[in-house]
Amino acid sequence: MKSIGFFACSNGYGHYKRISEIASLLSNDFDITIYASYFQVKKLGQVENCKHVELKLHNIRWDKTISESNVNFGTYIKGIEEYKDFLTKHDYIVSDNIVGILQHRPDAILLGSFLWKDVYKAKFGSNVLSDYDSNLLEVHNPLLITNKYAETGGVVLYENKVQFGFGCKDNSYTEFKIDKILTLEPSLNYLDSYANFFKGLNFNITKDFNITKNIAIMSRPGLGIITHCVEHHIPLIALYDNRDSIEIVKLSKKVQQLNIGFHQNVKSNFDYSKFSVFKDNSIYRYNHFEKDGYVKIAGYLKSKL
């Protein structure tokens, strides 16, 4: 049985979530090892029938980058170098958003709808991490698997890519009456004031991610949470801060463009008029998106590998 090594970006939970979903669909056909950070596995759990290797060093952590105002290129490289001997043992490597893997596995397949080189360049201008990743992409021209609805930056014009839709399965639930607000803590914390605002309007505030009916979600809009909202037809209040990565800012605006919620700059007063339209569920449409992306990606990888 041939082996696949899945390597996750250390930033947040979405990268590991996507890897987990795809790996679970391939675990009967391949010997799979997942490389991910401890906090990701602890939060979302291990994937059945897959080996797991803990990344003791982070590769990318945007919250640390912002708090330290530093590109942290050395940390990025060390977070990959420590596992280079492991990575060369697999027949195939799939890297979720970590381009630096190409240094040791030029044949790696990438997953992602944005590139960190664009995020770092937007924040720091010309820098060693962006230059490093740009060179690897130019030299190796890896296959990139994307969500066509969420592409930003250089991914939009990248040619060697295969596009799929949202990873979720189709869900027929279409009606809601919002009486609860689910708050998900972002890496840059700015939820408390908005939570108190909704409490004053007699909304119930919860952090229970398993609740999917009669609820709106208030969070930074990573692709994982956007997928969750599309799957369950949940309106999303997409919060962003000027300190956020350019990817988060652009995804916030895509939420409004896709008509699944609205974006809110946390430096501005809360726009309750936009929130009030949630009460008219005819405005929000979810069924036109292409779904089953994880299933299709797994099928594509199986046929290609």
Question: What is the C-alpha to C-alpha distance for residues 162 and 297, in angstroms, rounded to an integer?
Answer: 9
Question: What is the C-alpha to C-alpha distance for residues 211 and 182, in angstroms, rounded to an integer?
Answer: 8
Sheet of 180-183, strands arranged across: 204-206, 180-183, 215-219, 236-240, 261-265
**Of all helices (H) and strands (E), which one includes residue 7?**
strand 3-8
CATH of domain 3-167+292-304: 3.40.50.2000
Half-sphere exposure (Cβ direction) of 219: Cα atoms closer than 13 Å: 27
- Domains of the chain by residue range: 3-167+292-304, 180-283
What pLDDT score does 244 carry?
Answer: 80
What pLDDT score does 167 carry?
Answer: 86
Helix (H, G, I), strand (E, B) or coil at 233: coil
96 contact partners, CB below 8 Å, separation of at least 6: 6, 7, 8, 9, 15, 16, 18, 19, 110, 111, 112
Reference 51, options 27, 29, 18; nearest CA is 27
What pLDDT score does 278 carry?
Answer: 66
Instruction: Give one DSSP letter per residue of 25-62, joined into a string.
Output: HHTTTSEEEEEEEHHHHHHH-PPTT-EEEEESS-S--H
One digit per residue, pLDDT tens: the chain, 305 residues? 999 999 999 998 889 999 999 999 999 999 999 999 999 999 899 999 999 999 999 999 998 898 899 999 999 999 999 999 998 999 999 999 999 999 999 999 999 999 999 999 999 999 999 999 999 999 999 999 999 999 999 999 999 999 999 987 766 555 667 888 888 766 555 666 777 778 888 888 888 888 888 888 988 888 888 988 888 888 899 988 877 888 888 999 999 888 888 888 888 777 777 777 766 655 566 777 888 999 999 999 999 88
Residue with tokens 């897959």: 50
244, amino acid identity: D
